[in-house]
Chain A
């Protein structure tokens, strides 16, 4: 079997890579995305007090520490059986919305932006945030950075420290919101709503008014019919902080809605001999390979998936933006809800709808009179349990689940009767999307590789576009220099010999 590897250059070994396998005819057989294999996390955690987990897990990812902190904190609520007060939940959710605003903003302008704003055909040297700023103007660039900075302030203020928050406690939050904090956060939230609306307008101008981009978004090359997963509230509206996990089938009918505790009954992991990655799929549908359709257990958990899985958004302006997106993309309403949008590149649009929701929700929460409740801590007592003897059901166990920007995030801890950890399991956001990403990369590669002929022009860009819309989290934990992930393509013949080599890095040199 021929193998094409899109590799980072050697000095970045351990970072992401794309492998494309060809069959004997020189056509694409399989494609997958390799993320760094970090080892020994469970071993690292076992023997530590569970309450350290929100502070440990927020170190495993430099990109979404807030999501791990929140999932870990919620797992502790569950483990120690302490239900947080309504005020605590609101403070946590407000903190989490500030994180969502920064994360989605960064993705659209710095990461997805180069594909749309600068264009997929632009030379690699221009396809970065500098190229975006060049195109849209310095003022917008300043707004992006200001948006990040003001929300990082909120994260720092509420989370107890910047970047790696420490405020999450079982059943509580370490500090209350003072009236002064409330005022600052309110100003930030107002600006966020304005900025989100502005970003949606910008998307409309730059993408929707450009027929080439519209065609690209609507093209079959970037479409997949799969199941979609996302967290919903009691009204089946998208929620990032808490709720049930809803899965809809490719036609939009609800397949299942489950409590996050039940994930082991719903999600299984497929092991393939050619990758150490495990591919999650819907257990009750079954694994049928890397294929689309109702009979395939492949599901997707992204901003677009969350919107597809929900009946709508819980805030008014986001709901308007949601309806506009589905109407524009030709989705029909069946039984009162829109049919799923399968165009993967629409994920960028969905991300902006979510940005607006996060901004509006932050404003709602900060204006809630309960948000300044000084009582945010609670007494935690060890729940009585039989001593842990490596038998499931004994000792203390907790599951915590949130929507991370890049997919449903689940933490599951098992401890002894004192809460000393015995085992941990996590399904991180990006993991959910391994199979869909492989399928998208494969489809993009198929369009560019036929009978052994490789269209080199734009190959890297188009494959990058296929996976970037999933916002994959490769940089898990490591931030060693130079902190970049250039791609390299190795095209190998049937014997595995490299016959051609390309990379974004060498192209420009």
Chain B
């Protein structure tokens, strides 16, 4: 085989990820149609919650799955933007064209110094420093009563557009979240399959190699960190506007741990993994909390089983099953 033949062969090969993506597209389309077919209110609320956390999990995966940066402080950005919506809404104006971008910007701007410092470390130490920064955010939101309302939390004014309140009805908010999610997921996908995204994968696989190949690894890591924070910020805005409330718990390490679980359960190695993970974790949480208070036990067992037997998460299991069904060895 010569070079020309190989190039031709490569161009013909089907793209596996496209299948998972079409599935995602179909799901989004189904979700768009469902309320028109009579979806109960509580299911709508559940879907909204799943979409919000799916976005948060997707944003974390830019760092975790693609760049190999295991952050234990991602909830910090979720909380920062969440609080920013409330604070701007209360003191400046609740127009969504103002609060939304400002809140996301707040998260992204905070990510710059935090990221710049954190990426100088790796592995366990990176985990610990991201954890430390997130705890600082948590303590700040807990203690800075005049601004954040302290342990009582902050009431977030409902979104308005040019003076008139919008997104008041559950359905309106549902479509809003669905649209934002779809757009963000599309953007994130474009980012990870781009050359930039492949560079991140290279950094994950071998940072020394990437350096030797001429890449300024620090710059890429920082970019990934800020992008992850920005989209996490979007999730935070949606969360605040949904609950019309935000509390310090949103920045607590347990929140960071929860997002981490979602990514890992769904499968960090696949784009849609975090979405699957968020859905599973939230559904489990809602279903189990009515039966038992030992949610920690279930989560713990999930962690153990996952890491021992299903390293690639549910998405991985699905892909393996698929491959096996088609007669190929995974």
**Bound together:** no
- The interface of chain A, by Cβ under 8 A from chain B, is none
- Which B positions have Cβ atoms within 8 angstroms of A? none
